Amino acid sequence: MPQHDAEPEGARSDGLPSRAGQGDERLAALYEAHSRPVWRYVVSLTGDRAGADDVVQETLLRAWRTPRIMAQDPSTTRAWMITVARHLVIDEARSARRRHEQPVAEPPERAAADETDRLFEAILIEEALRTLSAEHRAVILTAYYRGRSVAQTAAELDIPEGTVKSRLHYGLRAMRLALQERGVTR
């Protein structure tokens, strides 16, 4: 613990009032008598050795700022110092610094939208397509699911455009009926 005997009263570089002489001796006695037990206590609470050093320093600073503690015999202040150290640990645990999010190595998985309805719709459509004839199913799959025009569908399936239009019309009508039988009312 540094000695401040050479500093004039009230003239310290850290802005704290100077308590030269007897106060410094009492603070040194407090440090000698209680710093190790308080440090061990804080380490047992937090598991943080470096943090325990900071808590012991702050506890001694508060003792130095409390005239009734400095007036007592240094051997009788351990309970007060342990209590102050405990409160400092609790305050730190409750502080905003501790409650903020901690960075992680990998970001969490992104939440995905519920695809259950879409899955059931796909199953219903697949079942309805199975009820169609192969010709109607081929025209609907080519035109709607592959995104082809009537002319492209006709060229791809090697059938006239009029036949494509007719099969689309009757195929969609049959599909609508198949879906209504399964409870789809749209």
pLDDT in tens, 126-158: 999 999 999 999 999 999 889 999 999 999 999
Predicted local distance difference test score (pLDDT) of residue 143: 94
Predicted local distance difference test score (pLDDT) of residue 183: 82
| Torsion of the alpha carbons at 103, 107, 108 and 114, rounded to the nearest 10 | 140
Show the domains of the chain with their CATH numbers: 22-98 (1.10.1740.10), 127-181 (1.10.10.10)
Burial of 113 (0-12, 13-18, 19+ CB in 10 A): exposed
Query: Nearest Cα to 53, choosing from 88, 14, 91?
Result: 88
Predicted local distance difference test score (pLDDT) of residue 101: 63
Predicted local distance difference test score (pLDDT) of residue 163: 95
Predicted local distance difference test score (pLDDT) of residue 103: 73
Predicted local distance difference test score (pLDDT) of residue 186: 62
DSSP the chain: ----TTSPTT--TTSPPP-TTHHHHHHHHHHHHHHHHHHHHHHHHH--HHHHHHHHHHHHHHHHH-HHHHHS-GGG-HHHHHHHHHHHHHHHHHSHHHHSPPP-SSPPPPP----HHHHHHHHHHHHHHHTS-HHHHHHHIIIIIS---HHHHHHHHTS-HHHHHHHHHHHHHHHHHHHHHTT---
Per-residue pLDDT of the chain (186 residues; tens, 9 = 90+): 444 444 334 444 444 444 445 667 888 888 888 899 999 999 999 888 888 999 999 999 998 898 888 888 877 888 899 999 999 999 888 876 666 667 778 877 887 788 888 888 889 889 999 999 999 999 999 998 899 999 999 999 999 999 999 999 999 999 999 888 888 766
